[in-house]
Amino acid sequence: MSLLDTFLKKRQTNATADMHFTDHIEELRWHIVRSLVAIIAVGVVVWLNIEWIFDNVLLGPAKADFISYRLLCRLGQELKINGLCLQDLKIKFQNTELAGQFTMSFSVSFMIGLILAFPYVFWEFWRFIRPALKENELKHASGIVFWSSFLFISGVMFAYFIIVPFTVNFFGNYQLSPSFQNIITIGSYYDTMADLVLGMGCVFEIPILVYFLAKVGILTPALMRSQRRMAILIIFVVAAVITPPDWFSIWMVALPLILLYEAGIIIASRVVKEKQLKSSSKYDNI
């Protein structure tokens, strides 16, 4: 039996006994439709202001006066860490496709629409998943829409104000030879930003993902502890690549990700303990 069949069977027995398989699929379709309508509605508002958003939001990390650069430099001066004052940006952008700027305006609008509408989108999918959960599972999942939205937006903000500026500054100023000049396509810049922003938004969902994977027994705290060194090594390698060569900058990027991983271990441990308590109480009743 597939995972989808198992899920729909639970949903059928818990709260929607009068619904057939096709009814569940139809309901899911409408949850998706409403989510897309919300994303498009927000995206239209973004598209109507796309010029301002391009200049002040999308291209913000590519400007020398971006707030992250100013704050990091001020922090570096206070702590006497020169590496936090990043190099002056020497980036020139170009468009190489006839309809490139036009199509990108829609892509940017959709991405920002997805980010801003995420709480509603997640709420729609939670409404579909909720009937498949038992009463005690719903108790443990209370506040999941808030926390999932909070973590996603936190990841997006962390990427936009920390990861993206470091990445843009490093790769934008990297030169193999003075003979080469960095003239970057706006599409390449946007793709990099979108990957980092949406990727970090998903990475920050690790505690939520760990909770459900631990619930079904796929992920255990022992497994996460055994892979801790590898996970931390990967985090530090990524942080070292995109930040200046000083430990403060590397830790500033790596620490939140390490804390997320450790939070996942704690969450998985609590889930395992709850399962053990339930199983022991069943044996006691026997």
Question: Which stretches of the chain score pLDDT less than 50?
Answer: 1, 3
Encoding tokens for residue 160?
Answer: 């936009």
What are the pLDDT digits (tens) for 244-265? 666 766 787 888 889 988 988 8
**What pLDDT, on the 0 to 100 scale, is given for residue 154?**
93
Q: Where are the beta strands (DSSP E) in the chain?
A: 92-94, 183-185
Q: Which residue has the tokens 């139809």?
A: 26
**What pLDDT, on the 0 to 100 scale, is given for residue 140?**
67
Q: Which residue has the tokens 């001066």?
A: 77
**pTM score, two decimals?**
0.80
Instruction: For residue 59, give the amino acid letter.
Output: L
CA R_g for the chain: 23
**What pLDDT, on the 0 to 100 scale, is given for residue 108?**
94
First CA to last CA across the chain, in angstroms? 31
- CA 113 – CA 43 distance, rounded (Å): 4
What are the pLDDT digits (tens) for 212-241? 788 777 788 888 889 889 989 988 888 887
- CA 165 – CA 71 distance, rounded (Å): 12
State whether residue 66 is helix, strand or coil.
Answer: coil
State whether residue 81 is helix, strand or coil.
Answer: coil
Which residues lie across from 93 on neighbouring strands? 184
Domain residue extents for the chain: 3-204, 205-286
> CA 227 from chain center: how many Å?
21
Task: Find all residues with CB under 8 Å of 171, minimum gap 6, and list them.
Answer: 192
- CA 89 – CA 62 distance, rounded (Å): 7
**What pLDDT, on the 0 to 100 scale, is given for residue 3?**
46
Encoding tokens for residue 12?
Answer: 């059928």
**What pLDDT, on the 0 to 100 scale, is given for residue 71?**
85
**What pLDDT, on the 0 to 100 scale, is given for residue 51?**
93
